[in-house]
Structure 1
Amino acid sequence: MASIPTAASLPEPYSTESNPLLVPGGIDGRDSAHLATLPLTDHSETGEVLSDSSRLALTGYALFVGLVIALSSVQFGYHNGELNTPKEALTHCDLTDPARVGGGAGNYLPTLPPCLPMSDMTFSFVTSIFTLGGLVGSLLAPTLADRWGRKTATVGNNILYILGSLAMGLAVNVPWLLAGRFLVGVGCGVSIVVNPMYLTEIAPRPWRGSFGLLNQMGIVCGLLFTQTLGYFLNNVPGWRLVLSMGILLSVLQLFLIIFCVESPQYLAAQAGNDIKARASLCRLRGTMDVDRELATWQNVAQKARLLPGSLGDDRSPIATTFPTTATVAAPASSTLGLGTLFRSKLYRKPLLLALLMQSVQQWSGINTVFFYSTVILSAIFPGREGILTVLINVFNLIATIVSVSLVDRLGRRPLLLGSMVGMAGALLVLALSIQFPTPAVSLVGLFMVVGTFAVGLGPLSFLLSVELVDIRATATVSALGLAANWISNFTVSSLFLLLNKSMGGWVFILFSAILLGAGLVVYKFVPETRDKTTQEIWRDMGLIK
């Protein structure tokens, strides 16, 4: 993990003596008064064009903040798969089997039951209620993120993770377990909306794609962590430790986030927060010359508010020139509601595309692999399903790392389209190998499905939902997209076992067909967003001239 830059490690221009932003209290305390005396442009007298701080190299501090934010994504991935591997130890109390009891039959907590017996249907409900909590959290997230800010929403959300993990780890019956799963689901729903916003808003423009993919990287690391832990702790009382681990992740993030700044783009969109926005951006960019980037954000927000089409009619295009100096008063920000988004020329199309990409992410069938990998693999490779599930998640991590390295080089469109076509082909291979039993090919098919998903459709559905709109619509579009994702997730996970029983391996043909159809829509309507401003993206979509 990147170290936190100190005053001593900074070059001379950014020492605490010359930069009030780095003096304790220099952002929110009394020393922030010095900022009022700083000119919003260092070039107003010479007429020199302002440098664009959004194109500066990535600083160690910005990377540190991004990694701390991604800890919430780790929680999402962890809780998404925490019930998979320890299922047998959780639901079956065979204390005579040494494999089910860690260190002997007397090693479980005497005040708690060694397991929570339940039917497969009840276990499916316990698994699925996580998605219901996620839906609730996703719908709450825009209000939390815009009222409290990205950082404060992240801090408060950890309370849900701690309470939910405690309830699951100390569960004495199924209702306790259900309550815990619902609470961590709400927390994950908030995180999966707030994190992509927070990450893209702090990133320099050339690094925006890689930072956005830190969200998916965190999810994948969480999945790998929980599957590995579950493999070794699939016993009594090991399953309780697996379900309690979210507490440690929350404590770690709560400590590290003390050293993180609020999103400067969020602050710039709030009336009267210019000084705080500038302070935050200077800290992230490692320079005082940030006025052009601030001016761009403020200009987009201001013109979007003044554009008649943004409020429901399509009469005039948005202006595309940016001021060379920042205005002192940032325009007030107000989150756009659902009705405004659907009536607006600027937001209707991006919203529909976000809903499509988030829904298709689940209708690709990917979570049938992660939710039921043990069930699928046990039928193909009896006795080896645990270690194979771990290996699939290792491969998922490797593929995600590849995606992070490519997204700002190749662009979003090639990765997304290649991912969707490749995954459709992988699902076809998986379907045929299951229907005409060929275990080795089935295993290869599972790895292909995970790999093709991880390099494109997995991370980019989140990233593009944020990049297609400006900051006024980011929270609402992200929340609605994630609501569609959760609903699709719940539907697919609830129907899969029934469909698999009635259709066998052919169920994966259905997922393949959905991917190909959605790929045609993406090819026709989704533009390349790499290294582009919101206005440039809107122009490519034909929303403005």
Structure 2
Amino acid sequence: MAPTGLRQCMHDVTPYLITLMLVVTLGPLQFGYHLAALNAPQDVLTCRKKTITAATKMLSKFPGRAAPEIPDCIPMTEAAFATVSSIFTLGGLVGALAAGPFCSSRGRLPAMRLTAIVYLIGSGIETIATSVPIMAVGRTLTGVGAGASTVIVPLYISEIAPPAERGFFGFFTQISVNVGILLTQTLGYFLSYGSAWRWILGTGVIIAAAQGTGLLVVPESPAWLACQKGEVLRGRRILQRIRGKDVSLDSEVAAWDGEDGASAVAPAEEQGLLGSEDALEVPTTPRSISGSKSSVRSVGFWQVLGDPLYRPAIIAVVGIMFAQQLCGVNSIIMYSVSLLEDLLPMSSALLTIIISGINLVTTIACSPLPDRLGRKTCILLSIAGQGTSSLALALSIRFGVKILSAVSVLFFVAFFAVGLGPVPFMMASELVGQEAVGATQSWALGANYAATFLVAQFFPIINVALNHRFGGAGWVYFLFAAFAAGFGLFVSAFVPETKGKKDADEVWGRTRRID
């Protein structure tokens, strides 16, 4: 009997695949890290407080200044801090839009290496920033790295993951984001005093250096080599190493067949070579199995929008990316410490760590759900849960029920992990063919960062305006509940299920088009 479920997953996983996953997911880990990096130290960084918790009051007795010429804090108004926070998402938008075309034409590996360099430079600038403009430059650069990573890494993972577990491995992007958030929130809890908050940002330099070093041993995507460069044999050799030498690849690489009829299925004598140790070395002269170079023509960023074959996919991915952000999760991730300070029965900084931990645990626990329940079902469950939690949070804040407020925040983040967090990243690569996946990912992540910018920049402003207009606090979460209801209707109408579908043509129920 063939292994099923977890046994099948463990059967398909090799140590080499695990190594690749650990290295490449350092990219989205830094997205989560930098996204939440300013949350805990906000009041210390902006010179409003010397410390935020009892723990940091004790630690503040120890010297924290790195150099005399670097100030302990950077005076900022609310508007200036909102700009510094949100400019990260504008950098992410630039990185997301540029990453799709770049990784389609140059490859996934050069793109990931470039993001590591950008992360390194941006983190270094943030760490030594002495003014708002310098901090904004650093945040913009780390945002560019984040935007590029969240386009490239899900693509790469989908192309190296075992086909039957792509939904499971698709969760690794969001898991790594949550690890980054938990790490930075924890450091923020202990280092938000004096100038010690700079060590929070300086840790980003260390992570970026680790990513860049690790990428030296990561190979190019086998599917990209075969489909975009026509180097089918080289792609097959890399994939054989990832899957293990005794695994048959014929069914998996059948989709690599080129437009000129070149076959990705190796003849028997070449399959024997693929199983040998020497075959794991990448040949210096690229060629396809048939001896001729075969490739799939890439579809550009604007082409996918103008082509009716791809337009429904663009509408679907843009919609679910806006749903991911406008249901309100980043109001908690980016602003919870200052926003919830007087509304909860415990330290908001400590609750933020608990929230991040629950988000991580829930994401890991829910990782099998897309392959069992379906991608669309997980998104709808997530939207319904977040909408209900938003409504409960709004009412609990209005009526001063602090325990219910805390519980609502925890459920709010937990339901995000069920579907809206990880699933949109994997669906973008399942709704179109290989020729359009780079451009579609750019549209998806461009929409994601545009929506994130709207929340980061305008959430504090709208929150204050609504509270002033209606009196009291919590009104903004009624707005998020309304957004959840609207996006639930959108997903039901315009987003197809991709679970169990072998390609985009089957997802959309159409006959494959031959150009």
The TM-score by the shorter chain falls in which range? 0.7 to 0.9
> How big is each residue's C-alpha offset from its partner over 1:408-452, in whole Å with a ceiling of 9 and x where there is no partner?
232212211111111111111111111222111111111111000
User: Alpha carbons of 1:403 and 1:348: their partners in 2 closer, same or farther (altered >3 Å)?
Assistant: same
| Residue of 439, 445, 461 corresponding to 1:476 | 439
State the one-letter code of the partner of 2:385: G
Matched, 1:453 2:453: no
CA distance in 2, matches of 1:240, 1:330: 51
| Residue of 330, 345, 357 corresponding to 1:394 | 357
The residue aligned with 2:509 is 542
| Residue of 134, 137, 143 corresponding to 1:179 | 137
The residue aligned with 1:529 is 498
Report the secondary structure of 2:419's partner residue: helix
Where in structure 1 are there 5+ consecutive unaligned residues? 1-52, 304-320
The residue aligned with 1:314 is none
Match runs of 1:397-412 below 5 Å: 397-412=360-375
Matched, 1:293 2:262: no
The residue aligned with 1:73 is 28
The residue aligned with 2:482 is 513
CA distance in 1, matches of 2:193, 2:260: 58
Report the secondary structure of 1:122's partner residue: helix
Cα deviation, residue 502, structure 1: 3.0
- What root-mean-square deviation, in Å, do the aligned CA atoms of Structure 1 and Structure 2 show? 2.6
Match runs of 1:111-122 below 5 Å: 111-122=69-80
Cα deviation, residue 366, structure 1: 1.0
State the one-letter code of the partner of 1:258: L
The TM-score with structure 2 as length reference comes to 0.86
Report if the CA contact (8 A) 1:55-1:204 is conserved: no
Moved more, 204-213 or 321-330: 321-330
Where in structure 2 are there 5+ consecutive unaligned residues? 1-7, 268-288, 468-473
Cα deviation, residue 329, structure 1: 4.0
Report the secondary structure of 1:200's partner residue: helix
State the one-letter code of the partner of 2:404: V
CA distance in 1, matches of 2:336, 2:395: 17
Report if the CA contact (8 A) 1:137-1:187 is conserved: yes
The residue aligned with 2:226 is 268
| Residue of 414, 436, 450 corresponding to 2:377 | 414
CA distance in 1, matches of 2:202, 2:214: 20
Question: Identity percentage over the alignment?
Answer: 36
Cα deviation, residue 360, structure 1: 1.2
User: Alpha carbons of 1:467 and 1:56: their partners in 2 closer, same or farther (altered >3 Å)?
Assistant: farther
Matched, 1:85 2:40: yes
Moved more, 76-85 or 228-237: 228-237
State the one-letter code of the partner of 2:420: L
User: Alpha carbons of 1:293 and 1:96: their partners in 2 closer, same or farther (altered >3 Å)?
Assistant: closer
Moved more, 409-418 or 115-124: 409-418
| Residue of 452, 458, 475 corresponding to 1:495 | 458
The TM-score with structure 1 as length reference comes to 0.81
Moved more, 168-177 or 199-208: 168-177
The residue aligned with 2:175 is 217
| Residue of 99, 106, 117 corresponding to 1:148 | 106
The residue aligned with 2:4 is none
Cα deviation, residue 473, structure 1: 0.9
Cα deviation, residue 342, structure 1: 2.7
Report if the CA contact (8 A) 2:100-2:438 is conserved: yes
CA distance in 1, matches of 2:382, 2:369: 13
Cα deviation, residue 493, structure 1: 2.2
| Residue of 116, 122, 131 corresponding to 1:164 | 122
User: Alpha carbons of 1:376 and 1:92: their partners in 2 closer, same or farther (altered >3 Å)?
Assistant: same
CA distance in 2, matches of 1:526, 1:323: 33
Cα deviation, residue 471, structure 1: 1.4
User: Alpha carbons of 1:95 and 1:502: their partners in 2 closer, same or farther (altered >3 Å)?
Assistant: closer
CA distance in 1, matches of 2:10, 2:316: 28
CA distance in 1, matches of 2:135, 2:346: 27
Cα deviation, residue 105, structure 1: 5.7
Cα deviation, residue 475, structure 1: 0.9
> How big is each residue's C-alpha offset from its partner over 1:333-386, in whole Å with a ceiling of 9 and x where there is no partner?
333124421333321111110110111111111111111111222021387111
Cα deviation, residue 103, structure 1: 3.5
User: Alpha carbons of 1:367 and 1:107: their partners in 2 closer, same or farther (altered >3 Å)?
Assistant: closer
> How big is each residue's C-alpha offset from its partner over 1:14-67, in whole Å with a ceiling of 9 and x where there is no partner?
xxxxxxxxxxxxxxxxxxxxxxxxxxxxxxxxxxxxxxx999722221122122
CA distance in 2, matches of 1:256, 1:540: 36
> How big is each residue's C-alpha offset from its partner over 1:102-141, in whole Å with a ceiling of 9 and x where there is no partner?
3446755212112111112111111111011111111110
Moved more, 397-406 or 350-359: 397-406
Moved more, 290-299 or 279-288: 290-299
User: Alpha carbons of 1:55 and 1:371: their partners in 2 closer, same or farther (altered >3 Å)?
Assistant: closer
Report if the CA contact (8 A) 1:421-1:516 is conserved: yes
Report if the CA contact (8 A) 1:54-1:293 is conserved: no
Report if the CA contact (8 A) 1:96-1:105 is conserved: no
Report the secondary structure of 1:466's partner residue: coil
| Residue of 63, 66, 91 corresponding to 1:133 | 91
User: Alpha carbons of 1:94 and 1:153: their partners in 2 closer, same or farther (altered >3 Å)?
Assistant: same
Report if the CA contact (8 A) 2:257-2:264 is conserved: no
Cα deviation, residue 155, structure 1: 1.0
CA distance in 1, matches of 2:249, 2:442: 30
